[in-house]
Amino acid sequence: MPALPFALDIIPLLPHLTRPELSAEERSERSEPRPAEPADVARDIPPVRLPDSDRCQQMATPRQPDTLTTMPQRLPGPLMQKYRLIDTHSLGSGAVARVCRMQDIGTGRELAMKVVEKHPLQIRNMVPQMEREVKVQRRLLHPNILRLHETFEDDTHWYMVLELANRLMNLLSRHPYRRLREHQAGWLFGQVVDGVAYLHQNGCVHRDLKPDNILIVGHCPKICDFGWCAELHDGPRRTFCGTFDYMAPEVIFGEGHGAAADVWSLGITLYEFLTGVTPFVSQSGRNTTTSEAFQLRVHKVDYGFPPWFPSQACHLVHAMLQRYPGQRDGAAKVLQHHWLEAHFQKPKQAGKPPCLEPLPDLPSPVPSQTYPVRCQRQWLHMQAPTSAAASMYPALGLVSIPKGPAV
C-alpha cells in the first residue's frame, strides 16, 4: 500500500489500520519527562509584557514602516512652551522624518513640525546633509518656498517648525488623469519657477524638484523638502541624488551638476502638470525608470508630446529638456518665456489667480476616441494615433518630439 499523507492522529479513524504496539523501553521513554531546552530557544522566551503606562506610550508613538524616525517620548521644554502638539499622524511621514501638526500657543495659528531622529542619520553619515538643509532653508524668505520659522534640538532629535500647507499631489489627484488645464498649469508652474530662480540667485540648488516636493496654500505653491539641497559656491556636485524620473542626465551619468539640474526637473514637472505622466518611460511601456532603456531615452532626450499639448508650452519644455546643461535656459530666463507671461505674469499683475479645481463645464483635454488639438485658437479633432509609441499610453496618444523647437 502506498504511503498515506495523513497525520497519526487520524489513524484511529481508519478501521483497516492499527497502531503498532510499543515495547516496554519505548513506553518508559515516552513517560519520562524531557529535559528543559536551553533558555535561548525563541519559543520558550515569554513575550515581554509592558506596564500599562509604557504600553500606552508605545501605542501613541509607533514606528511607521515608511520612515526611520520614531517620535520621542517627550518634546523639548522650550518647544512645548511655545507650541502645543495637536497630532502626530495626520500630516504623514517621509523617508527619515515625521511631520506633526502643531499650534502656536500665542497666536493660535496651526503649523507643521518636521521631526528627524538623529541615530538613523548618524549611522548613515547623513548628519551634514541634515545640517545643510536647516542652514539653507533658514535663510530663504520667498512666498513660493516653504517657510522655516525656527528649529529645536535635543540629544535624540531635530525639530523644524514649518509653515503648514497641503500637498499639491492631493490637488492633482482630483483632476481627470491628474492633468491641469493650461491656465492652471501656467499659474502654478510660474510660481514654482519663481521660487527656483530665487533659490539659484541665493547660491543654492534643490536637486529633488518634483510635484511630491511642492505644497500649496490657497493659490500659492511652496517648494519644500531641502534634504538634497547643495550650495553652488562649492563647484559642480557629483552626488547621485534625487528621484529617477526627474533626474537630469548629468546626475544620472555622474558628469557633475549644478543649477541646470533643477531646470531639467522643472521641464519634467511642467510636462507632468499638462499630461499627468513623466515623459521618459521604457519602450516596454512599464515604469522601469532605472532600466537601461529608460537611461538611453534620457541620454538621447527621446520623448513624445500628445497632439493636444499646447504649442507654446511644448517650446518651453523643449528649452528645458536639453541633454547638456549649457544648452538649457536658466530659471530666470524660463520665467520670461511668453507662455508664462500669458498664464502667470499677466494674471499675477491683474491680481486674478485662476480657479485650480477641476472645471467639468469646459471642454476636457482628457481624450477618449479623439484627441483635441490647439490650432489657431480653435478646437480641432483628429483620430487617435496607432503608432507603437501611442500604445505605451493609450490614454495619451504620444507622438514623437520634433528635432527642432516645437512652435
Rounded alpha-carbon distances, angstroms, from residue 7 to 11, 16, 17, 191, 365: 7, 16, 13, 71, 65
Give the span between the Cα atoms of 140 and 90, in whole angstroms: 26
Q: Residue 26: phi, psi to the nearest 5?
A: -65, -35
To the question of whether residue 225 is assigned a binding role by annotation, the answer is yes
Q: Comparing C-alpha atoms, which of 295, 313, 133, 287 is closest to residue 224?
A: 133
To the question of whether residue 164 is assigned a binding role by annotation, the answer is yes
Spatial strand order in the sheet of 166-167: 166-167, 214-217, 220-223
Give the span between the Cα atoms of 69 and 63, in whole angstroms: 7
With beta carbons less than 8 A apart as the criterion, state whether 208 and 230 touch.
no
Give the span between the Cα atoms of 389 and 380, in whole angstroms: 22
Q: Comparing C-alpha atoms, which of 126, 157, 129, 160 is closest to residue 146?
A: 160
Q: Comparing C-alpha atoms, which of 164, 157, 166 is closest to residue 97?
A: 157
Give the span between the Cα atoms of 298 and 247, in whole angstroms: 9
Largest CA distance in the chain: 102
Element (H, E) at 167: strand 166-167
DSSP-derived letter for residue 47 is P
SS (H, E, C) 393-406: CCCCCCEECCCCCC
Our answer to whether residue 208 is catalytic in this structure is yes
To the question of whether residue 114 is assigned a binding role by annotation, the answer is yes
Chain centroid to CA 9: how far?
Answer: 55
Q: Comparing C-alpha atoms, which of 182, 274, 169, 151 is closest to residue 215?
A: 169
Set 194, 208, 262, 329: catalytic member: 208
To the question of whether residue 165 is assigned a binding role by annotation, the answer is yes
Give the span between the Cα atoms of 24 and 148, in whole angstroms: 81
Torsion over CA of 261, 268, 224 and 359, rounded to 10 degrees?
160
With beta carbons less than 8 A apart as the criterion, state whether 326 and 259 touch.
no
Binding-site residues from annotation for ATP: 114, 163-165, 225
Residues tagged active-site: 208
